[in-house]
Structure 1
Amino acid sequence: MKHFIKCNNCNHLNELKSEYMVLCEVCGTKMDNNFTQWRQRHPGATFDNYLQMVAIAENQIPPEPPKRKMDVFKSKSLKKNTLIVLITVLSASVGGWLGKEAVGAVKNNKKTTTQILDRQWMKKGYGEKNSLTLESPWELNPTSKISFPEEVKQIIEKIETFESPENKNEFLKVAVNILTYKPQAGVLNMQGAADGTMNGMKNQPGITNFLYDEQPYSVNSIPGFIQKGSYSANGFNYEFTSIGLIRELVCWQIMIILKKDDKTAQEAAQRIVKSISI
């Protein structure tokens, strides 16, 4: 049986697909009644206890009266801030996925070997018509791990995501995400994309000491932002570089996460950033 928790901000019923669900699928707000925080108030309690005591079972939800489906983009009442929220939530999904993936990939005390700098790097294009090109020690692989809330898919035309392969001797996570929006999205909100990415990362369970700096950035005259920061998770310290670039209806996002104070990984990350071209 499915179980749900209600967002304390927008009242949306979020299906509990795992015990790590923290953010509302619709508005992106951190829910006060998530399992992680509830367990802190109830030491020793299990996820099953949480489902019984807090969650709403599927058979407890009253049926909604039938209503005509409406395309929000045809509604004159749609406001500009609605689109900003949708873009922010999309970027939060990207940031959350990257943060979670990086913690899994960069999870020991070893440092990156210098072989990563000495080998032959490859320059490759990614996305439709190879719209983004970068140089890296390995080819990034297409992935479909990232998921987006159904409510925001209506403004997405295409999603293309790529990530670096796992390697036990290289503690550097690189990901590229290319979002093509539908014309209904209008002019994409740069700050919404920037804020969403960081919110998605810092709200992942177990992440603490999250700090970052944000500056305007551009590649080939395409405007965007660059965010550099650090955080702690599972007893390790990480640093990251996040780049977002927007032109018309396309948003390119590049994220690099590595172990803090790993000099070789830092040098590799700088080389990747300098090689980005659109």
Structure 2
Amino acid sequence: MKYLHCDSCGHPNPLKSEYLTFCDACGKKLPQNFAEWRKLRPMATFPEYTQAVGISLKEKKNTGPLYWIKNQLQPANKGKVIVFFSLVFLLIAITGTLFGKRAVFTFLYPKVPSASLYSTWHTATIGRQALEISTPVKLWVHDQPLEGEEAKVIEYAKTYSNEDGGGIRIAVNMFSYISSVANSLEDAVAASHNSMQLKETATDIDCKSIPVLISGMQGMLEEGNYLYKGGIRLAFCNLVMIKGSNRWQIQINYRDDDPVGRQVAQRVLKSVKIK
């Protein structure tokens, strides 16, 4: 089929008859109608006119996503659709089982931003047995009620930590035990491990212990990593110090694959002083 293009509105008029003179869309006279064109070619026929003046419209191919979906939903393709979506759901289930948990924990535990190394840090002196510490995030009081045997042997307890986020968790715990209770460094390290396993749901712990001296007091620094809730491996630094009936613990957690987190943790530990 050939068409005569209207110069006024652009409408393509089908050349079905030699009497086509006005546009079907806007009603205006077509400039190259057969009568006008034949004045200069009196012996020409209508087929010759259509070949010389008429235009062909390009067939619009349906290749978009909507056309593909519509085509796939045809009854003839029903079996293919069922097989396709069954495979997709199976793949999602397998991927979710293998990688879903890790993806979630990776989102919840981002890496420490490098800006933490250059921003202004907070230096605070906290607790009855004053401890000074500098951190890239502000520490807030997060006291937890003592339960069971702890409530019977601890006369004073204080906990400070940062809010969630920032890629790092820093907690400062301070305890004063009653005079009749032994307060050894070994007991303090063991209590720290128990707390990490219970509260952090930590498994597969791998760490090393280093004796340290902080403000003239004996302490133990543990550094290592563990599997958190079976989903992501976290690094930790655990500094424990004792003096008489008093005990201090600084615990830092960050992603094991985070070099900035490690630098921040080391800087925090170097800032610790007991007044």
2:202 corresponding residue in structure 1: 207
Matched, 1:155 2:150: no
CA–CA separation in structure 1 for the residues paired with 2:159 and 2:185: 20
Give the drift of 1:126. 1.0
Q: TM-score, normalised by structure 2?
A: 0.57
Would you say the 8 A contact 1:106–1:173 is kept in 2?
no
CA–CA separation in structure 2 for the residues paired with 1:133 and 1:118: 20
Would you say the 8 A contact 2:233–2:255 is kept in 1?
yes
Residues 252 and 206 of structure 1: is their aligned pair in 2 closer, same or farther, counting only changes over 3 Å?
closer
CA–CA separation in structure 2 for the residues paired with 1:112 and 1:221: 32
CA–CA separation in structure 2 for the residues paired with 1:277 and 1:133: 5
How many residues end up aligned between the 2 structures?
A: 170
Residues 152 and 121 of structure 1: is their aligned pair in 2 closer, same or farther, counting only changes over 3 Å?
closer
Specify the code of the residue in structure 2 equivalent to 1:119.
S
Give the drift of 1:259. 0.5
CA–CA separation in structure 1 for the residues paired with 2:195 and 2:160: 18
1:188 corresponding residue in structure 2: 183
CA–CA separation in structure 1 for the residues paired with 2:161 and 2:116: 17
Deviations 1:192-231 (A, max 9, x none): 1111211332355853321111121220110111111111
Would you say the 8 A contact 1:106–1:171 is kept in 2?
no
In our comparison, the structure showing a higher alpha carbon Rg is 2
Matched, 1:270 2:269: no
2:225 corresponding residue in structure 1: 230
1:140 corresponding residue in structure 2: 139
Q: TM-score, normalised by structure 1?
A: 0.56
Q: Percent identity?
A: 22
Give the drift of 1:110. 3.1
CA–CA separation in structure 1 for the residues paired with 2:271 and 2:108: 28
Residues 249 and 206 of structure 1: is their aligned pair in 2 closer, same or farther, counting only changes over 3 Å?
closer
Would you say the 8 A contact 1:106–1:172 is kept in 2?
no
Gaps of 5+ in 1: 1-103
| Higher RCO, Cα 8 Å, sep 6+ | 1
Residues 108 and 205 of structure 1: is their aligned pair in 2 closer, same or farther, counting only changes over 3 Å?
closer
Would you say the 8 A contact 2:109–2:167 is kept in 1?
no
Instruction: Report SS of the residue matched to 1:174.
Output: strand
2:34 corresponding residue in structure 1: none
Gaps of 5+ in 2: 1-103
CA–CA separation in structure 2 for the residues paired with 1:161 and 1:255: 11
CA–CA separation in structure 1 for the residues paired with 2:228 and 2:147: 25
